[in-house]
Chains A and B, each alone.
Chain A
């Protein structure tokens, strides 16, 4: 999959998401429209229930929009089959979840290799996994299982797993929520470095000020709507709306 010619990775037009529980309809997103271009380091912020995670899930083809149109890398997600969506997640997206989410029976290296194997990569798989771990400063933990690592180390393995196949876009849902200040800083430094050096686009859902401080663009959601969309230029914040 490719980005559109003008470098737009995500294009949302009046995206609405409604969850139905019994007879109650919950509007998670109400007409969200935005564009996200390649190379961004973007934080989606807002209070709990504002729709941050829902927006990430829709971009990650983990869920379907109720109304509106959402294009990810030039493809309308609503028209994709379940298998096409799985293929997109596997080959073009990287995921970092809040609770580490590593396979507990695999070592750090095997966790990274496993996703490469799912992608059908057989050439230099082991080396690529070790390179990814090395980028995150985890080579010495390659043979450890998740239970033998700290929370920060586990989250860095999750990032290594997400970026090992060099996806265009990494979606990170509250990546620093369970980390102390030092570990959060190390993790964000590394992700920022990957963004700058390798051009990988990062979208975070967060309400962690430490993440917001790193982001070059911050979208604030309130009640399922975009309240503000701020692009930081040098040291000056610019409100786009």
Chain B
């Protein structure tokens, strides 16, 4: 019987990413458990149930226990965890928000993360993203749902220096976005012919 192996949508791009210079470093983040939370009103009881303050300011994210809580809308958040399985995270979050009238759905397979680090990362992103990524307005804790190239992404700022970002992209768009990022980073690579 054939053995079913778990593969990553960007496995074929690994060596191309490794050839990038340190000024534009792209690394594929490991799979994380992710849950989409819908909740009407956020009160202080959410923290006691969930263990994290869901951010209520638009376009922000906060670190959670072993993951992140990203604002997606006035009643929608993305919770991730690196230590729990998708089933464990979904069950825990659902048990926490269900009594408050909310819902939780496992969306771990929906998005994959790309970590972009380096001094030139902002210039690469600016080629296909219209929002202002200067750390003065897009410092650590900022997030944005926007378009990068033709793909819809969630951008997270991890540093106040503007040189560390996470791009969450839908799995089926990951190959396109990887190609797009490699093309956008071309002018910053040391060997123009790759």
Answer yes or no: are A and B bound together in one complex: no
